[in-house]
Amino acid sequence: MAESLKAKAVVDSIKADLVQRVEALKARGITPKLGIIRVGARPDDLFYEGGAKKTADSIGLAHQVFEYPEDISQEDFEKAVLEIGANKEINGILMFAPLPKHLNEKKIRSMIPVEKDVDCMNLASAGKVFADDETGFPPCTPTACMEMIKFYGIPLKGKRVVVVGRSLVVGKPVAMLAMREHATITICHSRTVNLPAVCAEADILIAAIGRAKMIDSSYVKPGQIVIDVGINPDPDNPGKYCGDVDFASVEPIVDKITPVPGGVGSVTTIVLCKHTVMACEMQHSA
Ligand code: NAP
């Protein structure tokens, strides 16, 4: 039976650290603040926003939501984003995407200042992540994977990490972060030949695919550590969600595995807060 790498202990540990860092900033007269930019009111965005605000409250991090109508013009939205970017009270910016189709999202993303870009919306931030420049924030989900790996004392140096998924929001950046820790990386995708055999070679397998329960017992071997990033509607339990890994099939074989729910996804909002506190510290470093 595999060890279940649960999020709660990871979140509690990050929170304890952040509470102290926020207090230290407040003692200097600085209140770190997260700005959340939302166009429209998609239920998923509202759900994530509610979680982010609650997590921010729990560590004393201030927050402000900037909400705009779905039919906002490019010109008005650009002006708003530039104003938020220049607002000295806002240290970190989360912008929900995708934006409505009439907006030029690429242009808007590039307007988020890199030093406030706590979820890596701007390609310039991604460039920093790929260049191992720690002044660029990775997206929160890859950082959440790394927080799980670090908290549970999983060594990466010299280990073989196989990432399934090559998106800019999860697959590619998590591969870069693992390589930063001296892992040897393989990135797989929908055209990878003989994926089960490639996955079975991993010491650490990271699934970021978006296919419910795709990774089953045929992809894994004893001794492996499996990090499941997937969040998908569960085909077997309507109204519930599941990962990209078939937990029931994989868990009896591997050494450690992150559950869904209660795994990587539950660490992302505290990472968002951590990035914002880090951004604030950097903006106010002497
Ligand atoms: P995405 O942009 O759709 O990328 C999916 C990747 O998986 C692509 O690179 C795709 O390959 C690959 N893929 C799809 N089908 C495959 C197959 N049959 N075999 C091998 N590779 C396959 O998805 P994403 O945004 O990276 O998200 C991935 C998963 O993570 C989703 O379940 C999403 O809900 C979840 N997610 C979780 C969080 C969190 O906080 N935990 C945050 C973001 C996303 P190609 O490039 O060849 O198409």
Q: For position 181, which CATH number holds?
A: 3.40.50.720
Q: Which residue reads 């990209």 in tokens?
A: 244
Residues 160 and 219 in one domain: yes
Interval 182-204: pLDDT, tens:
999 999 999 999 999 999 999 99
Per-residue tokens: 137? 């924030």
Show Cβ contacts of residue 185 under 8 Å, excluding neighbours closer than 6 positions: 161, 162, 163, 175, 178, 179
Which is the closest atom of ligand 1 to the Cα of 209?
7
Q: How many distinct structural domains can be found in the chain?
A: 2
Percentage of the chain with pLDDT > 90?
A: 99
218 within some domain:
yes
Which is the closest atom of ligand 1 to the Cα of 189?
21
Residues 169 and 245 in one domain: yes
Residues 228 and 191 in one domain: yes
Residue 48's pLDDT band (cuts 50, 70, 90)? very high
Q: Output the pLDDT for position 206.
A: 99
Q: Output the pLDDT for position 3.
A: 97
20 within some domain:
no
**Which residue owns the Cα nearest ligand 1 atom 41?**
265
**Which residue owns the Cα nearest ligand 1 atom 16?**
190
Range of the domain at 91: 29-118
The mean predicted confidence, pLDDT, of the chain is 98
Residues 149 and 108 in one domain: no
The count of other CB atoms within 10 Å of the CB of residue 252 is 12
Residue 238, phi then psi, degrees to nearest 5? -55, 135
The CB of 97 under 6 Å from ligand 1? The reply is: no
Q: Which of residues 83, 118, 153 is at a domain's end?
A: 118
Residues 71 and 179 in one domain: no
284 within some domain:
no
Residues 150 and 227 in one domain: yes
231 within some domain:
yes
Residue 164, phi then psi, degrees to nearest 5? -100, 115
CATH number for the domain that contains residue 69: 3.40.50.10860
Q: By C-alpha distance, which of 240, 209, 239, 252 is closest to 227?
A: 209
Sign of CA dihedral 112, 118, 120, 124: positive
Q: Output the pLDDT for position 10.
A: 98
124 within some domain:
no
